[in-house]
Structure 1
Amino acid sequence: MRFPFSAIVGHDDLRMALLLNAVHPGIGGVLVRGEKGTAKSTIVRALAALLPAVDVVPGCRFACDPANPDPACPDAPHTGADQRPARLVELPVGATEDRLVGSLDLERALTEGVRAYQPGLLAAAHRGVLYVDEVNLLHDHLVDLLLDAAAMGRAHVEREGVSVSHAASFLLVGTMNPEEGELRPQLLDRFGLTVHVVSSRDVAIRTEVIRRRLAFEADPSGFAAKWTAADAELAAQIVKARTALPGVALPDSELRRIASVCASFEVDGMRADLVVARTAVAHAAWRGGDAVNADDVEVAVRLALPHRRRRDPFDEPGIDEQQLQDALQNAAEQENEGPDDDPDGPDGPDDGGGELPRNAEQPQGSPGGGDQPPVPPAPAFKARLLQVPGIGEGAPGRRSRATARNGYIVRPSTVEGNGLHLVGTLSAAAPHQSARGRDGAGLVLRGQDLRLAVREGKESNLVLFCVDASGSMAARKRMSAVTGAVLSLLRDAYQRRDKVGVVTFRGNSAEVTLPPTSSVDAAAARLKGLRTGGRTPLADGLLRVRRVLAAERLRDPRRRPLLVLLTDGRATQSAGGRDPMDDAMRAAGMLAADGIPNIVVDCEQGYVKLGLASRLAAVLGGTCLRLAELSADQVTGVVRAARAA
Structure 2
Amino acid sequence: MAPRFPFSAVVGHDDLRLSLLLNAVHPAIGGVLVRGEKGTAKSTIVRALAALLPDLDVVPGCRFACDPANPDPDCPDGPHGAGADRRPSRLVELPVGATEDRLVGSLDLERALTEGVRAYQPGLLAAAHRGVLYVDEVNLLHDHLVDLLLDAAAMGRAHVEREGVSVSHAASFLLVGTMNPEEGELRPQLLDRFGLTVQVLASRDVSTRTEVIRRRLSYEADPAGFAADWADADAELAARIVKARAELPNVVLPDTELRRIAAVCAAFEVDGMRADLVVARTASAHCAWRGANTVTEEDVEIAVRLALPHRRRRDPFDEPGVDEQQLQEAMQQASAEIDDDPDDDPDGGESPPESQAPQQQQQQQGEGKAPKDQAPAAPSSAFKARLLQVPGVGEGAPGRRSRARSTGGRTVRSSTVDGHGLHLIGTVTAAAPHQRARGRDGAGLRLTGEDLRLAVREGKEGNLVLFAVDASGSMAARQRMSAVSGAVLSLLRDAYQRRDKVGVVTFRGTEAQVALPPTSSVDAAVARLRKLRTGGRTPLADGLLKAHKVLSVERLRDPRRRPLLVVVTDGRATAARPGHDPVQDSLRAAAMLAADGVATVVVDCENGPVRLGLADKLATALDGVCLRLEQLSAEQVAGVVRATRAA
Native 8 Å contact 1:420 1:453 kept in 2:
yes
Distance 1:430 1:257 in 2: 67
Native 8 Å contact 2:394 2:403 kept in 1:
yes
1:576 is paired with a residue whose SS is coil
1:466 is paired with a residue whose SS is strand
Q: Which residue of 1 aligns with 2:222?
A: 219
Distance 1:323 1:512 in 2: 37
Native 8 Å contact 1:364 1:373 kept in 2:
no
Return the letter of the residue paired with 1:554.
Answer: L
Q: Which residue of 1 aligns with 2:553?
A: 551
Distance 1:197 1:402 in 2: 34
User: Residue 491 and residue 436 in structure 1: after superposition, are their counterparts in 2 closer, same or farther (change >3 A)?
Assistant: same
TM-score by length of 2: 0.96
Q: Which residue of 1 aligns with 2:179?
A: 176
Q: Which residue of 2 aligns with 1:302?
A: 305
Matches within 5 A, 1:217-616: 217-337=220-340, 340=344, 362-366=367-371, 371-475=373-477, 477-616=479-618
Distance 2:486 2:22 in 1: 42
After superposing the two structures, state which structure 1 stretch, 425-434 or 543-552, moved more. 425-434
Sequence identity, in percent?
78
Q: Are 1:106 and 2:103 counterparts?
A: no
Matches within 5 A, 1:30-109: 30-79=32-81, 80-109=83-112
TM-score by length of 1: 0.96
For residue 491 of structure 1, report the CA deviation from its aligned partner. 1.1
Native 8 Å contact 1:33 1:175 kept in 2:
yes
For residue 364 of structure 1, report the CA deviation from its aligned partner. 4.2
Which runs of no fewer than 5 residues in structure 2 stay unpaired? none
Return the letter of the residue paired with 2:511.
Answer: S
After superposing the two structures, state which structure 1 stretch, 438-447 or 143-152, moved more. 438-447
Deviations 1:41-100 (A, max 9, x none): 110001000000011001000000000000110111212111100000000010000000
User: Residue 337 and residue 77 in structure 1: after superposition, are their counterparts in 2 closer, same or farther (change >3 A)?
Assistant: closer
Q: Which residue of 2 aligns with 1:140?
A: 143
After superposing the two structures, state which structure 1 stretch, 608-617 or 65-74, moved more. 608-617
User: Residue 518 and residue 42 in structure 1: after superposition, are their counterparts in 2 closer, same or farther (change >3 A)?
Assistant: same
After superposing the two structures, state which structure 1 stretch, 329-338 or 152-161, moved more. 329-338
User: Residue 566 and residue 214 in structure 1: after superposition, are their counterparts in 2 closer, same or farther (change >3 A)?
Assistant: same
Native 8 Å contact 1:386 1:642 kept in 2:
no
Native 8 Å contact 1:150 1:170 kept in 2:
yes
User: Residue 356 and residue 416 in structure 1: after superposition, are their counterparts in 2 closer, same or farther (change >3 A)?
Assistant: closer
Q: Which residue of 2 aligns with 1:156?
A: 159
Distance 1:283 1:326 in 2: 22
Native 8 Å contact 2:468 2:567 kept in 1:
yes
For residue 461 of structure 1, report the CA deviation from its aligned partner. 0.6
2:388 is paired with a residue whose SS is coil
For residue 281 of structure 1, report the CA deviation from its aligned partner. 0.4
Distance 1:415 1:97 in 2: 22
Distance 2:428 2:141 in 1: 31
Q: Which residue of 1 aligns with 2:128?
A: 125
List structure 1 runs of 4+ shifted beyond 6 angstroms. Answer: 341-345, 348-361
For residue 335 of structure 1, report the CA deviation from its aligned partner. 2.2
User: Residue 76 and residue 471 in structure 1: after superposition, are their counterparts in 2 closer, same or farther (change >3 A)?
Assistant: same
Which runs of no fewer than 5 residues in structure 1 stay unpaired? none
User: Residue 154 and residue 344 in structure 1: after superposition, are their counterparts in 2 closer, same or farther (change >3 A)?
Assistant: closer
For residue 494 of structure 1, report the CA deviation from its aligned partner. 1.1
- Of 22, 25, 33, which residue of structure 1 is paired with 2:24? 22
For residue 547 of structure 1, report the CA deviation from its aligned partner. 0.7
Distance 1:221 1:549 in 2: 51
Distance 1:593 1:77 in 2: 66
User: Residue 328 and residue 360 in structure 1: after superposition, are their counterparts in 2 closer, same or farther (change >3 A)?
Assistant: farther
Deviations 1:312-369 (A, max 9, x none): 1111111111111111101111124466589999xx99979999999877324539xx
Distance 1:221 1:295 in 2: 39
Native 8 Å contact 1:375 1:476 kept in 2:
no
Return the letter of the residue paired with 1:294.
Answer: E
User: Residue 63 and residue 48 in structure 1: after superposition, are their counterparts in 2 closer, same or farther (change >3 A)?
Assistant: same
For residue 154 of structure 1, report the CA deviation from its aligned partner. 0.6
User: Residue 341 and residue 444 in structure 1: after superposition, are their counterparts in 2 closer, same or farther (change >3 A)?
Assistant: closer
Native 8 Å contact 1:385 1:641 kept in 2:
no
User: Residue 553 and residue 255 in structure 1: after superposition, are their counterparts in 2 closer, same or farther (change >3 A)?
Assistant: same
Deviations 1:232-280 (A, max 9, x none): 1100100010011111110110011011111111111111111100000
Distance 2:510 2:223 in 1: 60
Return the letter of the residue paired with 1:249.
Answer: V
Distance 2:552 2:592 in 1: 12
User: Residue 630 and residue 515 in structure 1: after superposition, are their counterparts in 2 closer, same or farther (change >3 A)?
Assistant: same
Distance 2:44 2:365 in 1: 42
User: Residue 591 and residue 287 in structure 1: after superposition, are their counterparts in 2 closer, same or farther (change >3 A)?
Assistant: same
Native 8 Å contact 2:385 2:634 kept in 1:
yes
Return the letter of the residue paired with 2:265.
Answer: C
Return the letter of the residue paired with 1:119.
Answer: P
- Of 206, 209, 213, which residue of structure 2 is paired with 1:210? 213
Return the letter of the residue paired with 1:374.
Answer: P
Native 8 Å contact 2:370 2:376 kept in 1:
no
Return the letter of the residue paired with 2:477.
Answer: A
For residue 643 of structure 1, report the CA deviation from its aligned partner. 4.1
